[in-house]
Amino acid sequence: MRKIRTLSGQTLADVAVRESGSLEALFDLAGDNGLSVTDALGDGLELETDREAIRPETAGFFGRNGIFPATGREAVDGGGTVEPPPGPEGIGYWVIGSTFKVTKKKT
């Protein structure tokens, strides 16, 4: 059994891709560890697997280059709200209270 320790911001999908080279391992990794594919992992959770990499060349690339994907909310913005990506501008795209702020004029 191989042990895998998670990092802050990692999802089970991130771990599956890094360790097996493919998202195909997601459900097996979840089942092996009694988790749901959408469970929050947290920093330092120890997972176990005895499965071989599905795409060893991809898993090897992540390993050789020290790449640890972390796409969870904590990785994006510290767990708060996610800002929308930059995109079209103008009144047709603005949302009141979010991207379009209404303020009272000071007199």
Residues 6 or more apart from 71 whose CB is under 8 A from it? 9, 10, 11, 13, 14
4-56: per-residue pLDDT in tens?
999 988 999 999 999 999 999 999 999 999 999 999 888 899 999 999 999 99
Domain assignment present for 90:
no
Domain assignment present for 58:
yes
Domain that holds residue 59: 2-77
Q: Please calculate the CA angle 53-74-1 and round it to the nearest 5 degrees.
A: 30
pTM, two decimals, is 0.68
Domain assignment present for 56:
yes
Domain assignment present for 33:
yes
Domain assignment present for 89:
no
Q: pLDDT at position 81, please?
A: 45
Domain assignment present for 60:
yes
When divided into structural domains, the chain yields a total of 1
Distance CA 69, CA 6 (A): 10
